[in-house]
Amino acid sequence: MLKRKHIRFLRLYEPVHKRFERFCQVRCYGEMAPEDLMNETLLIAYEKIDDLQSKEAFLSFLCGISIRVLANNNRKMRPESTADFPKEVPAYTLTDAEAEKHFLYEALHMLHPDQQEAVILFEITGFKIREIAEIQNTTEDAVKQRLKRGRERLKEILTYESHHQTGERHE
């Protein structure tokens, strides 16, 4: 039988599930199974729910926990090298759209972790800069800078990638 606390917690979680799932899918791409990250985050969040100041902050609360979980996980396990980008993906297994997404995920993982987090939280999860600053425990200016540099780097990577894919050279 479900406890009341469980029900309350899941009611709180339901509206943010979509955004949180998206964040986990992108953030832990190639590092950890998203379902594990989500589950572990939810378990911790459930235990620390009393620390939550307002219901509106629940998503950033979850994201903050998942960032720490992922960092701990990466500390325990040797992080996989991303230097060999682009990874070989059998072309026949992906559609164009899927391939683009795959390369975007890969490109995101080539960013500095802070930039990567800022870009994911802003562009994919839809947080405001102020909220990201709170999650990352930094200033709004720093977040803006991370977003700017992150986007520039992503463009560079994806440009190279598109030329690489089509066999063009740009020297």
Partner 1 sequence: MNLITKQENAMNKDRLEDLFQELRSEEPKLSFTDVSRRFLKAQQVGWLGVFLIRFFRKWNYLNWIIMTTSIITATALGILLSGAPKSQTGGKYVTGTPEPQSTFATETEELIEIEYFSADSQLVQRVRKTKGQTQIENIQTLPPEPLPNAKVHHLAPRPSVKDSTAEVTRDRIFQITHNMQDVDLQEIEKAAKAAGLDFHYKYLVWKGKVKKIEYWINWTGPDGKYCNYHAALKGKFSTTVGWTEDAGGKAIGLLN
Helices (H), the chain: 4-13, 17-27, 34-47, 58-76, 96-108, 113-119, 129-136, 140-166
Least Å distance, CB 163 to partner 1, is 8
String of contacts with partner 1 for each residue 132-161, x by CB under 8 A: -------------------x--xxx-xxx-
Least Å distance, CB 4 to partner 1, is 13
Question: What is the DSSP track for 120-141?
Answer: IIIIIS---HHHHHHHHTS-HH
How many CA atoms lie within 13 Å of 72's alpha carbon, on the beta-carbon side? 9
Site for partner 1 in 24-83 (CB under 8 A): 25-26, 33-36, 38-40, 42-43, 46
Q: Does 101 bind partner 1 (CB under 8 A)?
A: yes
Nearest Cα residue to 101 out of 15, 20, 161: 161
Q: Which stretch binds partner 1 (CB under 8 A): 20-28, 57-65, 84-92, 132-140?
A: 20-28
Whether the CB-CB separation of 108 and 118 falls below 8 Å is answered with: no
- Tokens 């009393």 label which residue? 50
Q: 93, 97, 137, 166: which one contacts partner 1 (CB under 8 A)?
A: 97
For residues 74 and 70, give the distance between their C-alpha atoms in angstroms, rounded to a whole number: 6
Q: 99, 104, 110, 142: which one contacts partner 1 (CB under 8 A)?
A: 104
Binding residues for partner 1 (CB under 8 A): 2, 6, 10, 13-14, 17-18, 21-22, 25-26, 33-36, 38-40, 42-43, 46, 97, 100-101, 104, 123-124, 126, 151, 154-156, 158-160, 162, 170-171
